[in-house]
Amino acid sequence: MDSERDDVTGDVAHIRSAKRVLMVLEHVNQAGPTTVSAIARAVDLPRATAGRIVATLRSLGYLDDDGGGLGVRASRRVLNLAKGFQPDLERMSTIRTALSDFTRKIKWTLVFTRPSGPYVEVAATTATESPLTIERSHPGERLPMHDSACGCVMLAASSQDMRDRVYGMLETEPMAKASLPDLQARIRRAESQGYAWHRRTGRREAVLAVPVMGMDADAVGALGLRYIHSAMTADDVARNLLPQLREAAAQIEVAWRV
C-alpha cells in the first residue's frame, strides 16, 4: 500500500515538473529573447527553479543563448515539436498574410481565434502591426468563450451539438454558469445579425467578430476586429467595416479548406 502511495506521489511530481518545463518553453517561444528572472515572473516560479529548467532546455538544444545579451531564446529545434501540425503551419502562414493585408488597409487590429474547450485561443493577430493597438494579444492567449465576441459568434454559427458540449463545460465553472443566459441571448442576436459584438469589463477595446466556417456545420474559428470603444460605436463598425471583415474571413475559409 505504501509503495502504491509512493508511486502516485512520484507520478504527481513528474507531471508537475513536465508542466513547468512546458510553461517555460511556451513563454520563451512567445516572448522572444528573455532572461531567467523574466521567465520566473511570467510563469510564477522561483528563480532557481526557472534557472534549472532553462539550463535543461539549453542542454537539450531547445534554447539558445541570445546574442543580444538578453539571456535565452527558442532555438530552431522547437520547430520539430510542431512537425505533426505542418498543414496547419502552412495554412497559418497564408492566414497571417491575409490579416496583415487587411490591417494595412483599415489600420485596426485583427485577431483570428480557434475554439479550445470552453475558451477561444488566439491563432494569429496583427496586434504588433496595427498603429491603433492598445491591448496587445499574442498567439496562444486564451479567453473565456462566454466573455468574447469570437466565442459568441463561433457558437452562433455552429450546430446545437457543439453548443451543448460547450454549455456543459461552462456549467462546471460557477462564474461561467452564471453568465450562460446572457451568452445565449447574445448568441441569438449574433444568429440574426451574422456577427457578434462584445466589450470585456474594464477594457478600452471592443471586438466585432464574424465566423470562419469549415467544411461541416460548425465554425472552425472566428475573425475579430478590435477597435477603441470610445472612437466608434458597434453600429459604425458594422456599417463601415463589416463587408471587409467578411471578405477577410472568406479568404481564411479558402485557406483552411485547402
Co-location of 89 and 212 in the same domain: yes
Domain check: are 52 and 159 in the same one? no
Instruction: Give the pLDDT score at 185.
Output: 95
| Residue whose C-alpha is closest to residue 195's, from 158, 246, 232, 159 | 246
Residue 117 CB contacts under 8 Å (≥ 6 apart), including other chains: 169
Last residue of a domain, one of 14, 47, 74: 74
**Residue 50: CATH number of its domain:** 1.10.10.10
Q: Which of 74, 105, 137 is the last residue of a domain?
A: 74
160 pLDDT tier (thresholds 50, 70, 90): very high
The pLDDT of residue 23: 87
Q: Are 160 and 39 members of one domain?
A: no
The set of cell numbers assigned to 21 is: 518545463
Whether residue 7 is found in the same domain as residue 111? no
32 Rama sector, left if φ>0, alpha if ψ -120 to 50, beta otherwise: left
pLDDT of 45 higher than 50: yes
Q: What is the mean pLDDT of the chain?
A: 85
The predicted-structure confidence for 210-245, as pLDDT tens digits, reads as follows: 999 988 778 999 999 999 988 888 899 999 999 999
Q: Is residue 64 part of a domain?
A: yes
Greater model confidence, 27 or 209: 209
Residues 175 and 241 in one domain: yes
Residues 251 and 143 in one domain: yes
pTM: 0.69
**Domain for residue 79, yes or no?**
no
Kindly state whether residues 70 and 88 are assigned to the same domain.
no
For residue 130, tell me if it sits in a domain. Answer: yes
Which pLDDT band holds residue 172 (cuts at 50, 70, 90)?
confident
- 129 with 245, same domain: the answer is yes
Predicted pLDDT of residue 8: 46
For residue 240, the domain's CATH number is 3.30.450.40
Q: Which three cell numbers stand for residue 52?
A: 534549472
Of 44, 74, 104, the residue at which a domain comes to its end is 74
Q: How many domains does the chain have?
A: 2
3-state secondary structure at position 7 = helix
Segments of the chain assigned E as strands: 63-65, 72-74, 109-116, 119-125, 142-144, 196-198, 205-213, 219-228
Mark whether 153 and 117 lie in a shared domain: yes
In this structure, are 52 and 90 located in the same domain?
no
Q: Tell me the residue range of the domain where 35 lies.
A: 2-74
Q: State the DSSP code for 241.
A: H
pLDDT category of residue 86 using cuts at 50, 70 and 90: low
Is residue 7 domain-shared with residue 133, that is, in the same domain? Answer: no
